[in-house]
């Protein structure tokens, strides 16, 4: 990836430099929104978006309330130049729904103890367990932007997906947005692994698993 993709700001005419994946940003000079329409078209167009609920001003004032009076903050943490950098960023994710025909086999044990006279008896019964069923799994997610730290993004989750709207470019105006650079095939293994674990959990319900 190389830098230096130049757009002209419609409002002040300045040249706005972006990276190849930037889909929306703000003009550095006049702070007007710049949306690169072509970046999220065709195959790169997201299906859904969870729109920001707070304006930048509301976010800044909520942040100031939260940090007010907190000791041990780094000196320049609340400096004007730092606050100036605060911005809403839309991150792309993959959300995957799937239906799995799943089955599980296990060996079960049951003990029965009793006493008769001065003897103790233990009876051990062995069972073969077999369970199968259709497992529906929704919203298995992975990040779709490699620049975003995976651990950090896990911390932000879960999003309230009931708030998701059909995607429209107009939501991006005034925010930062990036185009995905991770394809579904890149995350398939991680997603399959998660799905596998969910299926096991669902099928093993009410079974005490001995390690």
Instruction: Pick between residue 23 and residue 140 the one whose CB is nearest to Zn ion.
Output: 23
Instruction: Pick between residue 29 and residue 136 the one whose CB is nearest to Zn ion.
Output: 29
* Contact set for Zn ion, span 71-130 (CB under 5 A): none
As measured in angstroms, the least distance from the Cβ of 84 to Zn ion is 16
As measured in angstroms, the least distance from the Cβ of 35 to Zn ion is 13
* CA 97 vs CA 90, 100, 137: distances in Å: 21, 10, 6
**How many residues form the binding site for Zn ion (CB under 5 A)?**
8
Instruction: Pick between residue 12 and residue 89 the one whose CB is nearest to Zn ion.
Output: 12
* Contact set for Zn ion, span 3-42 (CB under 5 A): 9, 11-12, 14, 27, 29-30, 32
Q: Taking the mean position of all CA atoms in its chain, how far away is CA 84?
A: 26
| Site mask for Zn ion (CB under 5 A), range 171-210, x = bound | ----------------------------------------
Instruction: Pick between residue 29 and residue 77 the one whose CB is nearest to Zn ion.
Output: 29
Instruction: Pick between residue 12 and residue 17 the one whose CB is nearest to Zn ion.
Output: 12
Q: Rule CB under 5 A: which residues touch Zn ion?
A: 9, 11-12, 14, 27, 29-30, 32
């Amino acid at each position: 990836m190389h830098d230096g993709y130049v757009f002209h700001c419609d409002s002040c005419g300045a040249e706005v430099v972006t990276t190849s994946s930037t889909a929306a940003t703000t003009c550095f000079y006049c702070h007007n929104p710049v949306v690169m329409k072509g970046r999220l078209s065709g195959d790169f167009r997201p299906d859904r978006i969870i729109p920001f609920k707070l304006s930048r001003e509301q976010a800044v004032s909520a942040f100031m309330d939260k940090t007010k009076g907190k000791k041990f903050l780094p000196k320049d943490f609340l400096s004007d130049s730092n606050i100036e950098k605060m911005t809403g960023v839309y991150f792309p994710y993959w959300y995957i729904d799937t239906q799995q025909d799943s089955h599980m086999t296990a060996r079960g044990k049951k003990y029965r103890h009793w006493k008769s006279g001065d003897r103790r008896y233990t009876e051990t019964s062995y069972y073969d367990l077999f369970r199968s069923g259709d497992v529906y799994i929704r919203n298995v997610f992975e990040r779709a932007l490699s620049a975003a730290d995976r651990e950090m993004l896990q911390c932000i989750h879960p999003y309230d997906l009931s708030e998701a709207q059909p995607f429209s470019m107009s939501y991006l105006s005034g925010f930062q947005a990036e185009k995905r650079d991770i394809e579904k095939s890149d995350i398939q293994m991680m997603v399959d692994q998660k799905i596998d674990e969910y299926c096991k959990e669902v099928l093993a319900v009410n079974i005490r698993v001995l390690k």
